[in-house]
Amino acid sequence: MVIRHLLGAVSAAAVLSCALTGAGFAQGYPERQITMVVPFAAGGPTDTVARLVAEKMSGDLGQQIIVENVGGAGGTLGAGRVAEADADGYTILLHHIGMATAATLYRSLPYDTTNAFEYVGLVTEVPMVMVARKDFEPVDFPGFIAYVKENADTVTMANAGIGAASHLCGMLFQSAIETQFVTVPYKGTGPAMTDLLGGQVDFMCDQTTNTSQQIAGGTVKAYAATSPERLAIFPDLPTVAEAGVPQMEVGIWHGIYAPKGTSEEVTTRLSASLQKALADEGVVKAMADLGTAPSPAADATPAALKAKLESEIARWKTVIEAAGVYAD
């Protein structure tokens, strides 16, 4: 009887110890530096968003979040790196819409998109703008569409590589106007924009985070925004729907993920920190200058990001399969 009571006491103590350890882990997190993997090159639009958010989250968490750029294969290399990382909250991923499109673009991925990650929250949805070299002939978007269709064999559209936002917008554009033209892939947004500025390619569709300065400076010609409403930063720029091409409406949303198995306490802590960062006046202003806005608190949650990813996988599966364009 005494032995039985002793064993019971030991078991109860063990359970209590485990519970306290788990609670202590959640309360103590983070205790060291966090790495935020961005699956694209430094200086690009997604990198810009990541560094803005990482800086503010670092202050709230009391530990630095460093951004590590792991580019290549349309963002799948960086995503794969996080999928294989320890599920302790010290390696996280900031990815854009490519997280959803890769599930169809790549018929063989080293990870299962919907089952390899835990969710933290949505960060922002960035509109895109169709821009061309500053001396491109058409004067408005309807004229632009007519010109591209008439000269499909010779016009060139740049993109930042398969799976990049500019590539996805290009697929939508070709589908919307039922025209195939020459696309020129680059290893990143920076080189693509450089050649557009230099006149080596005719046009591209990219995020306002990468095009707003060039549009404002007059170094490129802007034709239309892919957002449902006109951009506050460029109120004179029409939307694609106004030009009769609503099929091109698309925003490049960004979300933060953690490896599968990361505790709910940790993802909740990260989500709360993200919400604080997105409410910061400096972040709101910086994003406004880039032609976008932070996600509202209701969207900067694990549940909202999960729902967004699942719906976008279904949407883009239809588009990509219809185009018959795959990355492998």
Predicted confidence (pLDDT) at residue 103 exceeds the cutoff of 90: yes
Domain ranges, residue 217 = 127-248
Predicted confidence (pLDDT) at residue 290 exceeds the cutoff of 60: yes
Predicted confidence (pLDDT) at residue 5 exceeds the cutoff of 90: no
Is 15 inside a domain boundary?
no
As a whole number of angstroms, the distance between CA 199 and CA 197 comes to: 6
Mean local confidence (pLDDT), 6-29: 49
Domain with 237 in it: what CATH number? 3.40.190.10
- Whether residues 244 and 151 share a domain: the answer is yes
Number of domains in the chain: 2
Mean local confidence (pLDDT), 104-116: 94
For the stretch 245-275, pLDDT in tens is 998 988 899 999 999 999 999 999 999 999 9
Mean local confidence (pLDDT), 278-290: 94
Domain C-terminal end among 248, 274, 292: 248
Mean local confidence (pLDDT), 65-88: 95
Nearest to 254 by CA among 37, 115, 46, 44: 46
Is 11 inside a domain boundary?
no
Quick check: 255 and 119 in contact, CB under 8 A?
Answer: yes
Confidence of residue 79 (pLDDT cuts 50, 70, 90): very high
| Backbone φ, ψ for residue 199 (5° rounding) | 80, 10
Is 278 inside a domain boundary?
yes
Quick check: 92 and 30 in contact, CB under 8 A?
Answer: no
Predicted confidence (pLDDT) at residue 107 exceeds the cutoff of 60: yes
Q: Is the peptide bond before 30 cis (omega within 30 degrees of 0)?
A: yes
pTM of the model: 0.81
Per-residue pLDDT, 26: 53
Mean local confidence (pLDDT), 32-56: 94
- Whether residues 67 and 201 share a domain: the answer is no
Domain C-terminal end among 193, 222, 248: 248
- Whether residues 147 and 241 share a domain: the answer is yes
As a whole number of angstroms, the distance between CA 275 and CA 273 comes to: 5
Confidence of residue 72 (pLDDT cuts 50, 70, 90): confident
Mean local confidence (pLDDT), 50-58: 97
Domain C-terminal end among 198, 224, 248: 248
Residue with tokens 């792991």: 70
Residue with tokens 């694209």: 40
Mean local confidence (pLDDT), 174-189: 91
Per-residue pLDDT, 218: 97
For the chain, the average pLDDT equals: 90
Is 256 inside a domain boundary?
yes
- Whether residues 211 and 237 share a domain: the answer is yes
Is 3 inside a domain boundary?
no
3-class DSSP state of 217 = helix
